[in-house]
Amino acid sequence: MTREAGRRDGLDQQAVLLVAGLADLAVSTLGSAVGSVRGLLRRSDTAELAAEAESELVARGRLVLDRYAAVPPAHLEILARHALDRKAADGI
């Protein structure tokens, strides 16, 4: 067996181990999520929790849109407003 063949086998084995590890992580995370959902469904205030979650998601959505969708004012526009404010304050 050449060195290249040995490396390839090692890389193949490493890839398989990585995929198996990711699959195990996904299954355990999914199991935890299902357990959490079952616990939430047993609560008596599920409707209130859902309403709070909805309002929180709406608030988060607004924050994201404000952060990424809003176009900031032009730099020269801001400078012009400051200049006008100074002139008005000086009484010119």
Tens digit of pLDDT per residue, the chain (92 long)? 455 656 667 888 898 999 999 999 999 999 888 888 888 778 778 788 888 989 999 999 988 887 777 777 788 989 999 999 999 998 76
CA pair distance 69, 78, nearest whole angstrom:
19
- At position 70, the amino acid (one-letter code) is A
User: 25-54 as b/e, with b when 16 or more CB fall inside 10 Å?
Assistant: eeeeeeeeeeeeeeeeeeeeeeeeeeeeee
Taking the whole predicted model, whether its pTM rises above 0.75 is answered as: no
Query: Which pLDDT does position 60 carry in this prediction?
Result: 92
Helices (H), 1-92: 3-41, 46-68, 75-90
Ordered by start, the domain boundaries in the chain are 1-42, 45-92
Which two structure tokens, joined as six digits, stand for 21?
């590890």
